[in-house]
Structure 1
Amino acid sequence: MVKAVSFVAKSGTGKTTLLEKVIVSLKARGYKIGVIKHDAHRFDIDHPGKDSHRLTAAGADTMLISSPEKLALVKKHREAPAIEELIETYFSDVDIVLTEGFKKSGMPKIEVNRQERSATLLCRGEVTDPTLIAVASDAPLELDVPVLGLNDPEAVADFIEKTFLQ
C-alpha cells in the first residue's frame, strides 16, 4: 500500500507553497512523489476548442491525452471517489502521495498554520482530529503533536521521511 499524508489548512495559509518546497526536498533525496490536489469547485483541464474537450463534450466517459513526456486523464464520475481509491488506482508507482486538502479524510494530516491567517487550528480547535500527526506553523504552539517550522520545508521533509519512508 502506498503511503500518504495530507496537508490541510484554511484557504490562503500557504499549503501549496510549503508543499512545493517539500516536494523539491523529497525529490532531491531520490523519492518518487505523487500529489493529489482537492478542488471543492469544478475545474477543467481540457478547454473549449481543443480536441480533448470536443471528445469529452461528445460524451466520452474516460479520455486520456498522452504525449512523450506526460499524460492527463479525464474521467467523469457521479460522485467523487474516496481518496484511498484514487491512491490505490493511480499511484502504485510512487514512494509517497502528498495531498493538499481532504481535511475530512481519515489519512494522516499535517496542518499548516499561519498565525496572521488564523490563530485557531482545524484539527485541534472545536474538534480534535485523531489523524493529525504534526503542525507546520510560524508560531510556537503547545500541542500533543510535533510542531514544525512553517518556513523550514527541510524539517517538514525530514519529518515525512522519518515517519513514512524509512
Structure 2
Amino acid sequence: MPVRAVSFIAKSGTGKTTLLEKVILELKSRGYLVGAVKHDAHSFDIDHPGKDSHRLTAAGADTMVISSSEKLALVKKHQSPPSLEEIIETYFNDVDIVLTEGFKRGAMPKIEVHRRQRSKTLLCRGEKYDPTLVAVASDEALILDVPVFDLDDPVGVADFIEQAFLSANKKVRGRRASAAH
C-alpha cells in the first residue's frame, strides 16, 4: 500500500512551516504516525566540522548514519537528486502520512497556504491552473473549486487530511492499527 502524502506549498514567508507544525501536532494527537519532508532549494549541511560524522562524510563516505537510542540521521550523497516519490517510497514506509513543505512543482496533492499581504494571487489558481491542488488555507475569504480553510485553523486542515487521505485506509499503520486490536 503506498504511503499517502500531501505537499504544503506557498511563497516564502507565508506561514507554511507554522501551519504545518500545528497540523502535525494535531494529527499526532489523533494517533497517526506522521513523516515530514522539507524541500531546500539551496545546498544545506547537517554535519558540522569537527564532529565525527562530518569527518566520516568528508573522508568520502557515500552514506553515513548517526544513530542514538532516540533517533537517527542519514547523510547520503547522490549523483542526481531523487524524486519526492522516491524519497517517500524509500524512507517513509513506517508512517501513515507524509506532509511535505515545498515541492510546488511536484505531482503530489497540494494544500496552498495563502496570505493576502504576501501575494494577491494563488500559485495553483493564478496564471497557471494546477490540478493537484486539493485545498487552500488562507487569511482571506476565497471562492475556489477546492475547500478553503482559515489560515489559523489547523484542526480543520487536519480534519480534511484525515477525511481525504487517511479515512479511506481502514487499517492504517502505526499506533492506530495496534490500538484497534
Normalised TM-score (structure 1):
0.99
1:81 corresponds to which residue? 82
Please give the residue correspondences for 1:1-166 in structure 2 after superposition, counting only pairs within 5 Å. 1-166=2-167
How many residues were matched structurally? Answer: 166
Aligned residue for 1:120, secondary structure, equals coil
Q: Which amino acid aligns with 1:25?
A: E
- Per the TM alignment, residue 112 of structure 1 is displaced from its structure 2 partner at its CA by 0.2
For structure 2, list consecutive stretches of 5 or more residues without a partner in the other structure: 168-181
In the alignment, the residues of structure 2 paired with residue 30 and residue 55 of structure 1 have an alpha-carbon distance, to the nearest angstrom, of: 37
**Cα distance, 1:23 vs. partner?**
0.4
Q: How far does the alpha carbon of each residue in 1:71-115 deviate from its partner, in whole angstroms, 9 at most, with x for none?
A: 000000122100000000000000000000000110000000010
TM norm structure 2: 0.91
Measured in 1, the distance between the counterparts of 2:16 and 2:135 equals: 14
Separation (CA, whole Å) in 2 of partners of 1:160 and 1:51:
40
Q: Aligned-pair distance for 1:119?
A: 1.3
How far apart are the structure 1 equivalents of 2:154 and 2:82? 30
Paired amino acid for 1:151: D
C-alpha separation in 1, matches of 2:123 and 2:95: 28
Cα distance in 1 for partners of 2:4, 2:77 equals 26
- What amino acid maps onto 1:143 in structure 2? L
Q: Which stretches in structure 1 are left out of the alignment for 5+ residues?
A: none
Query: Offset at 1:118?
Result: 0.7
Mapped partners of 1:78, 1:8: distance in 2: 26
Identical positions, percent: 75
Letter in structure 1 aligned against 2:109 = P
Secondary structure in structure 1 of the residue aligned to 2:108: coil
Aligned partner of residue 39 in structure 1, secondary structure: coil
Q: Which AA in structure 1 matches 2:113? A: V
Name the Cα RMSD after superposition: 0.5
Q: CA deviation at 1:142?
A: 1.0
Give distance in 2, aligned partners of 1:157 and 1:137: 15
